[in-house]
Amino acid sequence: MKIVYPHMGYMWICIKAMLEYLDVEVVVPPPSSKKTLLLGVKHAPEFACMPLKLNLGNFMEAAELGADTMVMAGGCGPCRFGYYAHVEHAILRDLGYQYQLVVLEPPQKHIGELLGKIKHITGHQSWRKVINGIRFGYHKAEAVDELEKTANYCRPREIKPGTTDRALQAALKEVIAADTPEKLPAARKRAFEIMRSVPVDRLRPVLRIGLVGEIYTLLEPFTNQDIERKLGGMGVEVDRSIYLSEWINEHLFLGLVKNKRSSKTAREKAVKYLGHFVGGHGLETVGNTVLYAEQGYDGVIQMLPFTCMPEIVAQSILPRVSTETGIPTMTLIVDEQSGEAGLVTRLEAFVDLLARKKQTGEVLA
Ligand code: SF4
């Protein structure tokens, strides 16, 4: 069995570590690119959201590297995500790919089924080893998240442009190279030493923007056109409302790890504006915008793939949140037509507005 799973930012690092620790062969598809997207766009339904198209491209590229089993998360609820694994599998089968499909359904609703699938993937491994493997993957996700957060702090303050990005890549290499749980703490320490070596001006005034929206778009730099890096280069410190380890803790560990940011607070904040679950992260998008306003952020950017239903609901509510809380918001919708120049222009205009508002205390219309 040679397993492939779709790219979603740096998720590949933690799943690869976990599966290889459990002696499962993994095929990591090439990073998502224009080619990946073109493959997906060619074979996916036109109105499917961009994550489906990229997933499809990832699976097609991985098949050339020998992958034979695709692992996808399942889902339930108003958005289409729950169907995607099956739709992708059917498209690939029609195209002649011989993939075996394993869908990991959310544990809240299907714990027995999920455990059975884990056993199927990991074969003869004991539950004790499986748990250690999951813990190893989780600790890698935590390390990667912390490195990304440090990079988001350093970028707008770096003294020499580009040093943060180079340091981040070097630091990630350290974490990736740790192939056992025992080696991870030392690798993590080296990685943070690399990040600490980035010369920064801690007194430089920066703008702070919160990123909210659909999880895949927020986590996958190819989809969001590296928005965190672009904003960092414009002198903005970015906080992403969802990090992978937080999502794992909440949805797979059911909040077992304490002192982690949880989406519960955001959902509570959203109630005033949206009283029910709309699928995906629609509720969290609304609630996190309120939270960012309360925390004194200068602005919020919502990102969503074209046709994403939960985020369209949230998008229609954000103007009211913005008016009532005073935080400026901007929505960016991405699809295969999105160009880099357009995104940069919009980001620059938004950042200019926020800077002016900060300087003059002006209220934006
Ligand atoms: S959350 Fe949005 S982008 Fe993701 S599957 Fe659902 S509709 Fe598509």
| Whether the Cβ atoms of residue 298 and residue 282 lie closer than 8 Å to each other | no
Q: What's the 81 CA to ligand 1 centre distance in angstroms?
A: 6
Q: Is 137 in the pocket of ligand 1 (CB under 6 A)?
A: no
Strand partners, 207: 236
Mean pLDDT of 77-92: 92
More confident residue, 70 or 109: 70
> Measured in angstroms, how far is the CA atom of residue 78 from the centroid of ligand 1?
10
Tell me, using a 6 A CB cutoff, whether residue 213 lines ligand 1: no
pLDDT for position 232:
98
With a 6 Å cutoff on the Cβ, whether 287 touches ligand 1 is no
Question: How many whole angstroms from 83 Cα to the centroid of ligand 1?
Answer: 11
Helices and strands, number each (H, E), in the chain = 15, 8
Q: What is the pLDDT of residue 364?
A: 56
Encode pLDDT of 332-343 as tens digits.
999 998 889 999
To test the ligand 1 pocket, which listed residue (54, 87, 216) has its Cβ within 8 A of the most ligand atoms? 216
Query: What topology is assigned to 3-125 in CATH?
Result: Rossmann fold (3.40.50)
Which residue in this structure is represented by tokens 């989406």? 263
User: 311-318 — which CB contacts under 8 Å span 24+ positions?
Assistant: 311/213, 311/214, 311/280, 311/281, 311/282, 311/285, 313/274, 313/278, 313/282, 314/212, 314/213, 314/274, 314/278, 314/282, 314/283, 314/285, 314/286, 317/273, 317/274, 317/286, 318/285, 318/286, 318/289
Average pLDDT of span 60-68: 97
Among the atoms of ligand 1, which is closest to the Cα of residue 282? 1
CB-CB neighbours of 31 under 10 Å: 13
- List the chain domain ranges: 3-125, 134-203, 206-364
Q: How far is ligand 1, taken at its centre, from the CA of residue 46, in Å?
A: 14
Q: Ligand 1: does its nearest atom lie under 6 Å from the Cβ of 85?
A: no
For the cut 80, the answer to whether the pLDDT of residue 365 exceeds it is no
Give 80 or 289, the one with higher predicted confidence: 289
**pLDDT (average), residues 57-69:** 97
Cβ–ligand 1 contact at 214 (below 6 Å): yes
Residues 182-241 pLDDT 10s? 999 999 999 999 999 999 999 999 999 999 999 999 999 999 999 999 999 999 999 999
Identical fold at 3-125 and 206-364? yes
Which residue's CA is the closest to the ligand 1 atom numbered 2? Answer: 308
- Domain 206-364 in this protein, CATH class: alpha beta
Per-residue pLDDT averaged across 24-50, rounded?
Answer: 95
**pLDDT score, position 257:** 85
Instruction: Report the share of the chain in percent with pLDDT over 90.
Output: 82
**Residue 106, pLDDT above cutoff 90:** no
- At 109-126, the pLDDT tens digits run 777 888 888 888 988 899
Segment 169-199, tens digit of pLDDT: 999 999 999 999 999 999 999 999 999 999 9
Does residue 362 register a pLDDT over 70?
A: no
Find out whether the beta carbon of 81 lies less than 6 Å from any atom of ligand 1: yes
